[in-house]
Amino acid sequence: MNKKVLYSILVALLILSGCTIGGSFFMLNYSLTPNAKIRQKDIETYAYMYKEYPYLKGWVDSLNQAKALKDTFITNQEGLRLHAYYIRAAQPTRRTAVIVHGYTDNAIRMFMIGYLYNRDLKFNVLLPDLQHHGLSQGEAIQMGWKDRLDVMRWMEVAHETYGDSTQLVVHGISMGAATTMMVSGEEQPEYVKCFVEDCGYTSVWDEFSNELKSSFHLPQFPLMHTSSWLCEKKYGWNFKEASALKQVAKCQRPMFFIHGDKDTYVPTWMVYPLYQAKPGIKELWLVPGAEHALSYRDNKEEYTRRVKAFVEKYLH
């Protein structure tokens, strides 16, 4: 092999390596620190929610008037200050829901599910802001994996806040649903009775691979591998270990799976291995015509009825 050919190969390898490294940093920043998008959604939160769910305004106004919508803060094991809203039921009850929001959203953007539990089902509710969202600290989105530990601490806070005879359900949508499933694989205290997951992904690896293909038309190799490695170095976890599928396989509490059959963002196919992996008591509702995270908005009465029927089997 002459020097000219060798030089050309080395240059090509350097260019390829540079593109891969640059692409990995771009992918990680694009996925885990989309700060402009988060800021814009924060600004528009109430306007968006009142447009999509008009009945929420009267409910929120009544809560504010009664000073029933309250803030609470904790410090997690990494020293981050985390925020949540809590709302007591109008009448004393042991039944409590911890409600977990999705990717680049915040606790306020889960007020429609808060309404379902607090207004319709008469539950206490607690709605946390996950790391890097809302009023919570955190250098990046954790895609549910580190969040599972924070949510478990919030579950303890809900138990402490609402009394020692609490009966608890955890309900999440999208990334919040993946977080809920990741929580479900951990050892649970007695007061946790069931889980509801709505359109959660099987794993961060699967979700990011889907986004890489659908948005950028790129294969998994090499960017997924290098980005996952970079995530582990920077944030302490990798895309494959952040697996709702592995966690739900250890879940010993009943779980209700909800997924729209027109979901392409978290593809509908993901719900099937999740449901299959879950041992014990479980139910599945495949929502006809529903796109990502819109099953409640487009089917409010049926969604409420089905969630009520499920949780009331286990929270008495």
3-class DSSP state of 73: strand
What per-residue confidence (pLDDT) applies to 15? 46
- The answer, yes or no, to whether residue 7 has pLDDT greater than 70, is no
| 246 within a domain of the structure (yes/no) | yes
Q: Among residues of the chain, what percentage have pLDDT more than 90?
A: 89
- The answer, yes or no, to whether residue 17 has pLDDT greater than 60, is no
If one counts the domains in the chain, the total is 1
| 265 within a domain of the structure (yes/no) | yes
98-134: pLDDT as tens digits: 999 999 999 999 999 999 999 999 999 999 999 999 9
Q: Provide the 10 A C-beta neighbour count for residue 58.
A: 11
CATH number of residue 82's parent domain = 3.40.50.1820
Count Cβ neighbours within 10 Å for each residue of 279-295 and write b for 16 or more, e otherwise.
Answer: eeebbebbbeebbbbbb
Q: Length of the chain in residues, anyone? A: 316
210-228: pLDDT as tens digits: 999 999 999 998 999 999 9
* Residue 76 φ/ψ, nearest 5 degrees: -85, 180
130-176: pLDDT as tens digits: 999 999 999 999 999 999 999 999 999 999 988 778 999 999 999 99
Beta carbons of 269 and 296 less than 8 angstroms apart: no
| 96 within a domain of the structure (yes/no) | yes
Domain extent at residue 136: 54-203+242-311
| 223 within a domain of the structure (yes/no) | no
Beta carbons of 203 and 181 less than 8 angstroms apart: no
| 178 within a domain of the structure (yes/no) | yes
| 251 within a domain of the structure (yes/no) | yes
| 255 within a domain of the structure (yes/no) | yes
What per-residue confidence (pLDDT) applies to 4? 63
Query: Is 0.75 topped by the overall pTM?
Result: yes
**How confident is residue 21, by pLDDT bands cut at 50, 70 and 90?**
confident
68-91: pLDDT as tens digits: 999 999 999 999 999 999 999 999
| 103 within a domain of the structure (yes/no) | yes
